[in-house]
């Protein structure tokens, strides 16, 4: 593999890992990269890589359809390890209070402290949204916060959700009812910032169980508190455990204005 190929592979890995931390799973770029390298090797050397040869051929006798099938891409599937499913029988670790600050107001002049309680089974990790924590009940806080695993359930506080959840929240806030939810229930006992909870399958085939929760007053009313996990967790004791953690976080969600800054030129 040449220098350019190595640099390109590094960029693909970085993008895929960033997507995983956002709870969006792999982008599929790795598979596309492997397919491209296979085509390159075949063109130069007349050989193909083990990655491509291990995949079942979808080619037919028709030339044009063969070309299409060789370029076809199947999105990866996700499987939750049995040892992760088995952790459902382990009592949840004591919850602890999570706090962080956001900015609100027309000119982002209002500093707000957000707080909620989260099960100790989740450990905070680096992410590109408000707050993220992976379900790691057998680990302690002494671990690499850059760790990512596409098959590990992920707790998330998100101000700018993907289109599926964004439009669902927007529709519900305007009096509608979503037509693509696996579960939908309006909530009227958690204050004015939370109106419903729902469960949906996202565009990657993963499940999102969440509460809409308005973090800000001036913008991003489509924010939410939730957990993302593989479809094979649905209906298992582990799903109940994950949902209970989100229920607690939503129930204990609080906002407190810390300061209002003077920003006359914004």
What's the average model confidence in pLDDT over 85-101?
Answer: 95
For the segment 238-253, what is each residue's pLDDT rounded down to a tens digit?
999 999 999 999 999 9
Higher pLDDT, 56 or 156: 156
Range of lowest pLDDT (17-26, 121-130, 231-240):
17-26
Same domain, 88 and 60: no
Among candidate residues 71, 94, 127, the one where a domain is terminated? 71
Same domain, 113 and 231: yes
**The two structure tokens encoding residue 35:** 């397919």
Evaluate whether residue 76 is within a structural domain.
no
What's the average model confidence in pLDDT over 227-235?
Answer: 97
Same domain, 123 and 213: yes
Same domain, 123 and 53: no
Same domain, 36 and 60: yes
What b/e readout covers 219-256, taking b as 16+ CB neighbours within 10 angstroms? ebbbbbbbbbbbebbeeeebbebbbebbebbbeebebe
Range of lowest pLDDT (13-22, 149-158, 160-169, 225-234):
13-22
List, in sequence order, every residue forming a beta bridge with 207; answer none if it has no partner.
Answer: 201, 229
Higher pLDDT, 255 or 175: 255
Same domain, 169 and 148: yes
Among candidate residues 71, 97, 112, the one where a domain is terminated? 71
Evaluate whether residue 157 is within a structural domain.
yes
Same domain, 123 and 8: no
pLDDT, residue 153, reads 96
Among candidate residues 71, 99, 125, the one where a domain is terminated? 71
Q: The pTM is what?
A: 0.68
pLDDT, residue 129, reads 82
Same domain, 64 and 95: no
3-state secondary structure of 72: coil
**The two structure tokens encoding residue 30:** 């790795």
CA distance 108 to 210: 26
Number of domains in the chain: 2
For the segment 152-203, what is each residue's pLDDT rounded down to a tens digit?
999 999 886 777 788 888 888 788 888 889 999 999 999 889 989 999 998 8
Same domain, 52 and 181: no
Evaluate whether residue 265 is within a structural domain.
no
Same domain, 115 and 234: yes
pLDDT, residue 68, reads 44
Task: Report the chain's mean pLDDT, rounded to a whole number.
Answer: 78
Evaluate whether residue 91 is within a structural domain.
yes
pLDDT, residue 228, reads 96
Q: What range does the domain containing 38 cover?
A: 3-71
pLDDT cut 90: percent of the chain above it: 39
Same domain, 178 and 132: yes
């Amino acid at each position: 593999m040449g220098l350019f190929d190595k640099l390109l592979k590094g960029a693909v890995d970085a993008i895929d890992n960033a997507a995983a931390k956002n709870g969006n799973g792999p982008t599929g770029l790795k598979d596309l990269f492997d397919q491209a390298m296979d085509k390159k090797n075949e063109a130069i050397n007349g050989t193909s890589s083990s990655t491509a040869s291990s995949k079942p051929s979808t080619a037919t006798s028709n030339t044009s359809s063969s070309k299409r099938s060789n370029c076809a891409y199947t999105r990866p599937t996700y499987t939750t390890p049995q040892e992760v499913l088995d952790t459902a029988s382990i009592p949840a670790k004591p919850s602890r209070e999570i706090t962080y600050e956001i900015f609100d107001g027309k000119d982002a002049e209002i500093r707000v402290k957000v707080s909620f309680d989260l099960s100790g089974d989740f450990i905070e990790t680096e992410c590109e949204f408000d707050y993220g924590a992976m379900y790691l009940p057998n680990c302690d806080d002494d671990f690499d916060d850059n760790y990512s695993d596409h098959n590990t359930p992920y707790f998330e506080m998100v101000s700018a959700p993907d289109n599926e959840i964004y439009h669902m929240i927007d529709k519900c806030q305007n009096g509608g009812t979503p037509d693509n939810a696996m579960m939908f229930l309006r909530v009227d006992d958690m204050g004015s910032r939370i109106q419903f909870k729902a469960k949906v399958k996202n565009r990657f085939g993963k499940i999102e169980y969440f509460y809409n929760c308005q973090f800000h007053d001036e913008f991003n009313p489509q924010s939410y508190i939730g957990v993302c996990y593989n479809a094979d967790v649905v209906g298992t004791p582990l799903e109940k455990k994950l949902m209970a953690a989100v229920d607690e976080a939503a129930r204990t969600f609080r906002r407190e204005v810390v300061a209002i800054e003077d920003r006359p030129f914004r």
